[in-house]
Amino acid sequence: MKHYHKDRTILDSHSDESRDLLAVIGCVQNEMHELGAIMPSLFMHWDGFRVIYLDQNVPNATLSGMIRQLRPQVVGLSASMVESAHYLIEVSQLIAQIEPPRPLFIYGGAAFYRRPDLRGRIFGQFLGGNVRHMVHQLTQQLRASRDDSII
């Protein structure tokens, strides 16, 4: 069992892997419920990602430029409200228009359990179920595909 110094935060308790992957994570435009974005941020951090957490209510208008500038491997947004989930359709279209290499777009949240039909309208990977396990698989896939392209 690890022992943590009282001044350490939960984000300090991560694996020793190099931070060679970048993820930009937040809540979609008009979304104020952060837990759905915080969880994958934490799991990605533990898996060795550098994570830029964007907070609540990330305007779609700022995402395209931010993605082009930062060139992350993953962009993830959460929507717990169905009304907010509709903004993810636009985000997925923005990402599809970015010149390659494009980031993997992941999304999730309670809205997609209330309205599973919305998943089919978004170009990206739905993170549902065991998010920690899915993030770990995603990390392995990204590292393997990057290693394959180096060879």
Kindly indicate the confidence band of residue 69, based on its pLDDT and cuts at 50, 70 and 90.
very high
- Angle (CA) 144 148 151, round 5°: 140
Domain CATH number, residue 90: 3.40.50.280
Q: How far apart are the C-alpha atoms of 73 and 107, rounded to whole Å?
A: 14
Q: What's the structural domain count of the chain?
A: 1
Strand-strand pairing, 74-78 and 104-108: parallel
Q: Which two tokens stand for residue 26?
A: 């937040």
pLDDT averaged over the chain?
86
Structural domain for 126, as ranges:
16-150
* Beta-ladder partners of 75: 24, 105
Q: Are 6 and 58 in contact (CB under 8 A)?
A: no
Q: Do the domain assignments include residue 10?
A: no
Report which of 143, 93, 104 is spatially closest to residue 127, judged by C-alpha positions: 104
Q: Do the domain assignments include residue 8?
A: no
Mean pLDDT of 101-125: 94
Kindly tell me if the per-residue pLDDT of 115 is higher than 90. yes
Picking from 10-14, 81-85, 109-113, which range would have the lowest pLDDT averaged per residue?
10-14
Q: Do the domain assignments include residue 99?
A: yes
